[in-house]
Amino acid sequence: MTYSCARLFQDREIAVTKNLVNEYRGRWDCLAQEEYEDLLQQCLTHWFFARDKYNPRREASLTTFMAKIIRNKLTDLVREANAEKRKVTQLSVPLDQPLGSAEDAGTLEETLIDDSSDAFVQIELRIDLDKATAKLSPKQQELCRLLRDRDLSITELSRLLETPRATIYDEINRIKTLFSNEGLEDYLR
């Protein structure tokens, strides 16, 4: 927490917010993927503008009121993240988009005209891959792209991404787990 933040908020306010952010990050994966400091800042900013609404004549203490405000903010953030997640899972494939990475890959439109059942399997696989890939972090997506498009060793990936080799192995295992959970283990090599 920066010095200027400490002047805006009492230690108790910062402590309550940290506890609630940790609690929600432990409970919700979508918040666990967010930067801790960003969540803390969003919650404290929200509290800063809401704390004037506290009415001491009500039965709740200021700390209880604050916890309710922060919980509501974190719940809203979870709802927003889940709404974005639903948007991602409803992917559409444009008719003129190539179905593969090869230069001669056909489009969905050409496939529909061919009316072959193998082509529909390709379309479903493409949609499933897009959905699974959308669930990966940006760094994991970059790692997938590099693994798919280039034949690089773990050492080369480590140097290219400026990431320790152990982390590359861990990320690959996380990607494999997600793909397996999505029923795409056949796509992995």
Kindly write down the DSSP assignment for every residue of the chain, as one continuous string. --HHHHHHS-HHHHHHHHHHHHHHHHH-HHHHTS-HHHHHHHHHHHHHHHGGG--TTSSS-HHHHHHHHHHHHHHHHHHHHHHHHHHHHS----TTSBSSSSTTPPBHHHHHHHT-HHHHHHHHHHHHHHHHHHTS-HHHHHHHHHHHHS---HHHHHHHHT--HHHHHHHHHHHHHHHHHTT-GGG--
CB distance 99 to 111 below 8 Å: yes
Residue 3, class by beta-carbon neighbours within 10 Å (0-12 exposed, 13-18 middle, 19+ buried)? exposed
User: CA-to-CA distance for 22 and 20, rounded, in angstroms?
Assistant: 5
Q: How confident is the model at residue 176 (pLDDT cuts 50, 70, 90)?
A: confident
Model pLDDT, residue 2: 47
| Strand partners of residue 107 | 98
Of 77, 62, 71, nearest in space to 30 by CA: 77
Higher pLDDT, 121 or 16: 16
Among 70-84, 86-100, 169-183, the least confident range: 86-100
- The model's pLDDT over 78-103, given as tens digits with 9 standing for 90+, comes to 888 877 765 554 556 566 777 666 66
Model pLDDT, residue 86: 57
Domains, in order of start, for the chain? 3-89 (no CATH), 108-187 (1.10.10)
Question: How many angstroms separate the first and last alpha carbons of the chain?
Answer: 44
Model pLDDT, residue 1: 47
pLDDT of residue 3 exceeding 50: no
Higher pLDDT, 24 or 149: 24
pLDDT of residue 130 exceeding 70: yes
CB distance 5 to 44 below 8 Å: yes
One-letter amino acid for residue 9 of the chain: F
Tokens 């509290």 locate to: 47
Among 60-69, 77-86, 96-105, 157-166, the least confident range: 96-105
Among 41-50, 109-118, 128-137, the range of highest mean pLDDT: 41-50
